[in-house]
Structure 1
């Protein structure tokens, strides 16, 4: 990392994995950070910043946290976020594309039409993430050691899905209609698309010093699927701090040998 305090911009960080990633960065014994905490709601981002600042910055640390409003579904919001960050700093050393959503259950529960759900899944997890990365590219390239992280999913591997591994245990009976299920097809497809976005940015930045990865943080007990952390833990999900520490390890150089791939904590993930 740089000898000066690195600037990190992370989206979707007012709750869930993103919030835990910021906590983990603040707790780092290796480096202090200037974290720009992105959230769709400025009020929630501000409240998260208050909690992190008052409760999670160790004594003697030079780390800081600042809120930034950004909604990936809005081009105007992305542009305003860029201008806000640009007014605060001349570079972004680490861009963590964490914001995303799983909306399949909304359609299954009748809260949203199927086409609306699919479009929202791709707009949030793929299109918005790509456009935000494009907007922030100038600040990223202004860093001497830029890092670009995309938070993907272990369910996004096409190779593993084609072999029935993992997360594909459900085998519906023959006939139609199939029983109501929670297989998260739109989520999985959009995260597979996100992996391709990472590969495209690898191509785009091939002559620039940008290190980039797609990160599968593991099955974590967040509220991503609207299921609730307790139920997810009963299904084997790990505490979000486990995934957050993995992301921090990547930020701090522990997976530099795997640049340009989809990575899990203990391996690279099959395409």
Structure 2
């Protein structure tokens, strides 16, 4: 049975992604910073008959928490097939370049960038034991430098979230380097924008969570001929999905 770890999976897009991978026959480790929230989420899935799920406490900003999660999962399985780095924060308000505090930037980067690197490095050994390892870094078109500087972009005048956008742009760069370093292996590593989605992250504005999760799952299930090192936003580019960094 294929295995997957999803960080920040107790709610929103992460939760729906877990549900869809479970339906694909995966055993899912449902990562949650708060274990009680993770347990409640896993119980909801089990109540729907999706029983191959297990809540794992993991705070991506905490070295000890990530190490403990690696030990716990390593005691249960000899390999990990999919890692979905989904946990993320906005950085709060105010979010503009001139008003946001340094601590806001640090907190956003700590989760959205350092956390991804921390988790990826902790689990890379288990991923290397998979026949088809996949890493999906959940990003956003808001993190595209090309789009943010294009006055013709639909989001040009309202998607100016300096803290969040900066952290996701950095995540995109990390993805490029990670994919490069793994280019001669069986890994597929991509940055995926799930689109503007109805969750507490957006005040429940946007598209359906099921569609957002489908976009992530698609790249978690890539075959051996699938792309790697790409930045994908099907919301922005419905034809090929790929958008400019």
Relative distance call for 1:91 and 1:147 in structure 2 (3 A) is same
Report Cα offsets for 1:119-172 as digits up to 9, x if no partner: 1011110011111101111000011110011000011110111112242225xx
- 1:206 positional shift: 2.1
4+ long deviations beyond 4 Å: none
Gaps of 5+ in 1: 58-62, 171-181
- 1:256 positional shift: 5.1
1:120 to 107, 110, 113: 107
- 1:70 maps to 58
2:135 equivalent to 1:142: no
- 1:255 positional shift: 10
- 1:45 maps to 38
Gaps of 5+ in 2: none
- 1:24 positional shift: 1.5
Asked whether the 8 Å contact 1:53–1:65 carries over to 2, the reply is: yes
Asked whether the 8 Å contact 2:61–2:111 carries over to 1, the reply is: yes
- 1:12 maps to 8
2:232 equivalent to 1:263: yes
Max Rg structure: 1
- 2:161 maps to 184
Which SS does the other structure have where 1:12 is aligned? coil
- 1:16 positional shift: 0.8
TM-score normalised by the chain length of structure 1? 0.82
- 2:188 maps to 211
TM-score normalised by the chain length of structure 2? 0.91
| Count of aligned pairs | 237
Distance 2:191 2:161 in 1: 19
Which SS does the other structure have where 1:263 is aligned? strand
- 1:254 positional shift: 7.1
Asked whether the 8 Å contact 1:33–1:64 carries over to 2, the reply is: yes
Distance 1:255 1:167 in 2: 34
- 2:150 maps to 163
Report Cα offsets for 1:1-24 as digits up to 9, x if no partner: xxxx11001100000100010112
Distance 1:222 1:55 in 2: 21
- 2:120 maps to 133
Distance 1:137 1:196 in 2: 18
